[in-house]
Amino acid sequence: MSKLVRLSVSLDKDLVEKFDRQISRAHCPTRSKAVGDLIRESLIRREWLEGREVAGAIILVYDHHKRDLANRLNHIQHDWHHMIMATQHFHLDHDNCLEILAVRGKPRDIAELEAGLRAVKGIKHCSLATATTGRALP
C-alpha cells in the first residue's frame, strides 16, 4: 500500500482560482485528487510516447447498410485479434451503429489499427481513447 506524501506548491492566485472552479464543476472532491489525476494523465501520455504496452478504446460510428462494410470491419478485426480484447456493438438507430473495440498493445500498433479502421469507406467517425494497463501507476 502506498503512503501519502504531502507536498507544497506555489502558483499564481488566478490560476488556482480557475483550477478550483474547474474541479468544482467536475465534482472533484479535493485539489489533491485533481492534482493526482493530472499527474496520472501525464504519466499515461508518457507511456504512449515511450511505446510501452498500453490499453485504449477505438470508437466507430458507421452506417451498417453500406455494402460489405460489416464484413470489411470484421476482417480487419480478425487481422488484429491479438490486440483486440473485446468489442461491443450498439444499434444507434435504424441505420447507424456504434462499435467499441477494447485494445491492448504497443501504441504504434494501436495507431495503425485505428488508421486502418478510419480508412474504411463508410466509417462516419473513428476515434481513439487512450488509457493504460495500470501496471506502471501506483
Judge contact between 98 and 112, C-beta under 8 A.
Answer: no
Average pLDDT, the chain: 95
Residue 1 has pLDDT above 80, yes or no: no
Of 4, 114, 5, 120, the C-alpha closest to 62 is 120
Place of cell 485533481: 34
Separation between Cα atoms, residue 115 and residue 80, nearest integer Å: 13
What's the pLDDT tens digit per position in 13-64? 999 999 999 999 999 999 999 999 999 999 999 999 999 999 999 999 999 8
pLDDT mean over 116-128: 96
Judge contact between 60 and 99, C-beta under 8 A.
Answer: yes
DSSP 98: E
pLDDT-derived band of residue 136, with 50, 70 and 90 as boundaries? confident
Judge contact between 53 and 133, C-beta under 8 A.
Answer: yes
| Contact residues for 16 (Cβ-Cβ < 8 A; gap 6+) | none
Of 92, 46, 88, the C-alpha closest to 65 is 92
73, three cell numbers? 470491419
**What local confidence, expressed as pLDDT, does residue 138 receive?**
82
